[in-house]
Amino acid sequence: MANGPLIPGLREFDGPRKRLPRAVWWVGGAMVVALAVILLVGLFAGTGPARSLGLVTEPLQLLSYRPTTTDDVIQVGVGVPAEGLCRSDEVEVRAFARGNRVEVEAERTRSRNAVCRATGIAQDRVWVDVTLDAPLGDRQVIRGSDRGPLPRESAGVA
């Protein structure tokens, strides 16, 4: 029995062609379109599973810190940018323990295409609570950007 085509040179009569059903192509196409929509919504609206694609993060200036009534929580004063803060802005302050120092960094996260009127904050700073891994004690608080010491204010609010 020959292993080649029935008629040499003509492969069309060898057997039925194996193709994917049309439904598989439709489902695959729908999945590609859905993925593109999810990515675009995440990019332009800053929502959904691709939210981070549509966000912009900017560093903020750290001004001072003050202790609270809880030993492992401090409040860090973050400078308000000249354009102000929007209601949807997220201000985040992170603290890292580095031996006998606590290093803090602050940043603002907002939607890439957010257009809002800044809230009328009359203050020059916003106080943000930061939870430390261990009580502050005698450790020094420093800025992460330039490793400069952060001044301490006396009055604390819990």
* Residue 134 counted as domain residue: yes
- Tens of pLDDT, residue by residue over 82-140, are 777 777 788 899 999 888 899 999 998 887 776 776 665 556 788 899 998 888 888 89
β-pairing, 90-98 vs 62-67, is unpaired
Domain match, 132 and 61 both: yes
Q: Is the pTM of this model over 0.75?
A: no
Domain match, 82 and 139 both: yes
Domain match, 63 and 139 both: yes
Domain match, 48 and 67 both: no
Domain match, 101 and 84 both: yes
In 3D space, the residue among 86, 35, 68 whose CA is nearest the CA of residue 156 turns out to be: 68
* Residue 151 counted as domain residue: no
Counting the structural domains of the chain, the total is: 2
Domain match, 43 and 113 both: no
- Write down the pLDDT at residue 70: 87
CA 59/CA 50 separation, integer angstroms: 22
Q: Which domain holds residue 121?
A: 56-143
Q: Which two three-digit tokens encode residue 70? A: 């809880």
Domain match, 38 and 80 both: no
Confidence category of residue 55, pLDDT binned at 50, 70, 90: confident
Which of 12, 34, 54 is a domain's end point?
54
- In the block, residue with structure tokens 């973050």: 78
